[in-house]
Amino acid sequence: MAEFLKVVSFQEARQKIIECFPRQGKERVYLTEAQRRVLASDVQSPEDLPAFHRTVVDGYAVLAEDTFGSSESLPAYLDYVGEVKMGQDAGLSLQKGQCCWIPTGGMLPAGSNAAVMVEYTEKLGEDTVLVYRPVGPWENIMQKGEDIKKEEVIFSAGSFLRAQDIGLLASLGISELPVFKPWRVGLISTGDEIVPIEETPTIGKVRDVNSHALAAAIKDCGAIPHNYPLVRDDFKVLKNTVELGLRENDLLIMSGGSSVGLMDVTLDVLLSFPEAEMLFHGIAVKPGKPTLAVKIGDKMVIGLPGHPVSALMMFHIVCAPALSPYPPLSIDARLELNLSSQAGRDDFVPVELREEKGEKLALPLLGKSGLMNILSQASGFIHIPYEKQGLVKGENTRVYLY
């Protein structure tokens, strides 16, 4: 083999991939295209929200000082000078001792700094309002900019934009945004035994599951997958495909090649690039040991195991943390079986989640290696750390959903 094995822990593998991950381009998109995208720059509010002081109650706009000391038995007497209409400029200005009617959401007139709820007032004739309770300055008022201040950073670069974030941006009139371009990820399946899914495999052949499952997982990360034709165990063909893939994408993910021969050819091809730098070759995990990563210039190639269950799990363990803008989802559940594991290696075990009487239960999916039905049965996976020799039935365990 061209280079010594550099077996690392999955945490190191993940960290190396994150550190050396290709940089994303930037683009400006219209607000409706910004959903589930990642901001490339901070976004500041272009305006104050609300744009003016407004009440949050129906009642009278007042100067708070005029109501100090008022009570049921000793109301404040204020001069009624008019009315603020909903959705219109207040259009008047209060002097000491004056008040005016104001509806919820109404614009506070100049001079006033509080609102008294109508319940605590009484109108006397045309010109006088009695106030039975004091209000403090700014009581019952939403002040200009109290919700969002002009020039306040409302989203930082790197934020993932959800539906509700789109709502906040709309409310501020932000109709165009700088976001990162989605990563382009080339997918190369290798192996003499792989056939396209439309073919019926003859004995010893298997269908090309990874091109489809990994493409779907890549789309789930908001990235754009691009499949290349299947490559057999041939240095020249593989080299040409990798060259093309590196040119057309930010990142290549290769899978398959469980045979030692193909693994050798793959490594030879990757390390034949003058800028190639092996990040790791082998991860001390079960399953997924034969995972590797090579940095080639400002691009990267990640090699995943051939078996689809392992390939997808390793994708989630080491690729998704760099590729996906979504925080990983995990929930805690009670383990339904004892699980043994070898110390000195991190184990990841697919589990099926159930809920029973409001309690979440995780059933490890074991059985003979190579079962494909685990793909559809698993809700996620659990992690048995390096230093442990297993987990005990009934233990609380974190399930990483996928």
Positions 222 through 261 that interact with a copy of itself (CB under 8 A): none
Nearest to 53 by CA among 113, 135, 108, 115: 108
Report strand pairing: 299-304 vs 251-256.
parallel
Q: Toward a copy of itself, which CB reaches closer, 171 or 340?
A: 171
Give the Å distances, CA to CA, from 152 to 45, 48, 147, 159.
6, 9, 11, 15
Stretch that binds a copy of itself, among 128-136, 236-244, 274-282, 325-333 (CB under 8 A): 325-333
- Tally of helices (H runs) and strands (E runs) in the chain: 9, 28
Q: Toward a copy of itself, which CB reaches closer, 62 or 378?
A: 378
The answer to whether residue 338 forms part of the interface with a copy of itself (CB under 8 A) is: no
Stretch that binds a copy of itself, among 210-218, 247-255, 271-279, 385-393 (CB under 8 A): 210-218
Site for a copy of itself in 55-84 (CB under 8 A): 56
Site for a copy of itself in 352-381 (CB under 8 A): 368-373, 375-376, 378
User: What is the size of the binding site for a copy of itself (CB under 8 A)?
Assistant: 74
Sheet with 59-62: list strands edge to edge: 114-117, 59-62, 98-102, 76-83, 128-131, 121-124
The answer to whether residue 209 forms part of the interface with a copy of itself (CB under 8 A) is: yes
The first and second tokens of residue 95, run together, are: 């002097």
Stretch that binds a copy of itself, among 19-27, 70-78, 203-211, 238-246 (CB under 8 A): 203-211
Q: Which of 72, 126, 198, 387 binds a copy of itself (CB under 8 A)?
A: 198
Site for a copy of itself in 88-127 (CB under 8 A): 88-89, 105, 107
The answer to whether residue 49 forms part of the interface with a copy of itself (CB under 8 A) is: yes
Region of 91 (left: φ > 0; alpha: ψ -120 to 50; beta: rest) is left
Q: Which of 48, 208, 233, 250 binds a copy of itself (CB under 8 A)?
A: 208
Distance (Å, whole) CA 110 – CA 141:
13
Residue 152 dihedral angles phi and psi, to the nearest 5°? -65, 140
CB of 155 vs a copy of itself, minimal distance in Å:
7
Q: Toward a copy of itself, which CB reaches closer, 83 or 165?
A: 165
Alpha helices in 319-389 (DSSP H): 320-323, 374-377
The first and second tokens of residue 385, run together, are: 């750390």
The answer to whether residue 216 forms part of the interface with a copy of itself (CB under 8 A) is: yes
Nearest to 319 by CA among 333, 305, 298: 305
Q: Which of 38, 267, 312, 322 binds a copy of itself (CB under 8 A)?
A: 312
Distance (Å, whole) CA 60 – CA 64:
11
CB of 347 vs a copy of itself, minimal distance in Å:
19
Site string for a copy of itself, 1-40 (x = CB under 8 A): ------------------------------xx--xx----
The answer to whether residue 153 forms part of the interface with a copy of itself (CB under 8 A) is: no
Distance (Å, whole) CA 31 – CA 53:
28
